[in-house]
Structure 1
Amino acid sequence: MAYPYIQQKIQEEMDSVVGRNRLPQVSDQEQLPYTRATLLEIHRHVTLVPLSSFHTASDETSLHGYRIPKGTTLVSNLYAVMRDPNIFPEPDQFKPERFIDDQGTYFEREEVCPFGVGRRICLGQTLAKMELFVFFTHLLHRYSLVKPEDTPPITFKGTYGTTFAPKPYTIKFDLRM
């Protein structure tokens, strides 16, 4: 809704790959690089869960010269990683293209880690990614999301706590023909 040209590009990609006579399927993912890149950029840009779950060091160890005593509580700052300008230039800009190479091929980066990091990553990650793809593509296949007239400007501000809570907003669903 905030980037209608991105929404239009996704819809054009789906129309050329899937057509208008059926809904996208998980098996279509490989042929929808821009759509996949947009979903990954949404994860990076929004950072729904800014801090991973807490972990405890089971043994004394060191990391980059820092001593970590046994029993230390460790928390990964996922927000800082996904907004690091050394990894993602212009981190406040929404750019799905950052996940598409010069040949138009989609690629992922391990620094986009909305489901956590390490061996304790979310067990439901694979299912969640599939469900998000299906929900997102079905929605944009059938509708264009539009900011209704006379509503406040679109903002990406919200409240960070255990999860990110966006400010209230209104969406208009225009049926695509």
Structure 2
Amino acid sequence: MLLDCMDKYLQAAGAGGLQLFFPVTKYIQPYIHIRMKHNMESIVGFIRNEIENHQQEFDTENLRDYIDVYLNEKQKAKKQNREFVIDNNNLAVTVSDLFMAGTDTSASTLRWAILYMMAYPDIQDRIQRELDSVVGRNRLPRLADKTELPFTCATLLEIQRAGSIAPLGFMHCSQEDTTLAGYKVPKGSIVVSNLWSVHHDSELWDNLDEFNPERFVDDQGVVKERVELIPFSIGRRICIGDHLAKMELFIFFTHLLHQFKFTKPEDSPALSFEGITGIVFSPQPFLTQATVRQ
């Protein structure tokens, strides 16, 4: 239920979060605003219940997660007679941000990954041969294997380029008057970075419509992470979860392909790469057949 609410909320918010940063749109498309409000209330309501459960079960000797750490710090502040400005409302919103920023993005990337593996079985076979050669069949892949799996890592990079799940990143606000490429950007301007245009620029990528992991592998067979690939944005406002997301994607992707072969089920609809546009660009729903590898 929670994941469904997040998915609907992010789709309704629009590419780049237009519904969030331009409140006037609620008068133009009120039904979208109502749907966003309903889904956000469901998400925050779920988290409020979790906070209440944590308060009842709280144990300073067993801090299980982010909420427990918050409760511990709040308790410390009370004992030290110092102000603790963050209340449970702030906590609920912060946790919802962590859920939406760290859950749907990784899930959408993995859905694109499975879709591309179904569409390009030769690439899937090559990854699995590499996994079998480096990891073997008696254990699961781990982060320490990453340097020995160049084609697998290159494929993940190509999935991030082709899928571009955050096509317009997220809106920011300029802190001072500046000039960029000859254009004046006044202080307080809303700034949107078009990451999709970078990842789909024919001057930067040869045969950009071709799904080709080889573009991220050099002549020595080593992964080359190109500066033009910026799925987590760039600069001081780069996504704070980029390192965690990269680890998660590697672990989930390699575990899935180590254990399963993904194919298009017979009589299922044709594969489509027309995505659903929202804050997160996700693939259309599709069917897959996961066959356990021996």
In the superposition, the TM-score normalised over structure 2's length comes to 0.59
Paired AA for residue 234 in structure 2: V
Alignment of 1:1-177 (within 5 A): 1-177=118-294
Q: What do residues 56-86 of structure 1 show as CA deviations (whole Å, max 9, x unaligned)? A: 1111111122221111111100111111111
Instruction: Give the drift of 1:110.
Output: 2.1
Q: 1: CA distance between counterparts of 2:282 and 2:124?
A: 23
Instruction: Give the drift of 1:8.
Output: 0.3
Q: 2: CA distance between counterparts of 1:158 and 1:73?
A: 26
Q: What do residues 84-120 of structure 1 show as CA deviations (whole Å, max 9, x unaligned)? A: 1111112111000000011111011122111122111
Q: 2: CA distance between counterparts of 1:138 and 1:166?
A: 21
Instruction: Give the drift of 1:175.
Output: 0.9
Q: 1: CA distance between counterparts of 2:153 and 2:228?
A: 16
Q: 1: CA distance between counterparts of 2:172 and 2:248?
A: 27
Paired AA for residue 87 in structure 1: L
| Identity across the alignment (%) | 53
Paired AA for residue 103 in structure 1: Q
Larger Rg: 2
4+ residue runs of structure 1 moved beyond 6 angstroms? none
Paired AA for residue 58 in structure 1: Q
SS in 2 for 1:22: coil
Where is the strand percentage greater, Structure 1 or Structure 2?
1
SS in 2 for 1:174: strand
SS in 2 for 1:173: strand
Instruction: Give the drift of 1:146.
Output: 0.6
More off after superposition, 158-167 vs 37-46: 158-167
Paired AA for residue 171 in structure 2: F
Q: How many residues align?
A: 177
Paired AA for residue 107 in structure 1: K
Q: 1: CA distance between counterparts of 2:281 and 2:174?
A: 27
Instruction: Give the drift of 1:168.
Output: 1.5
More off after superposition, 81-90 vs 62-71: 62-71
Gaps of 5+ in 2: 1-117
Gaps of 5+ in 1: none
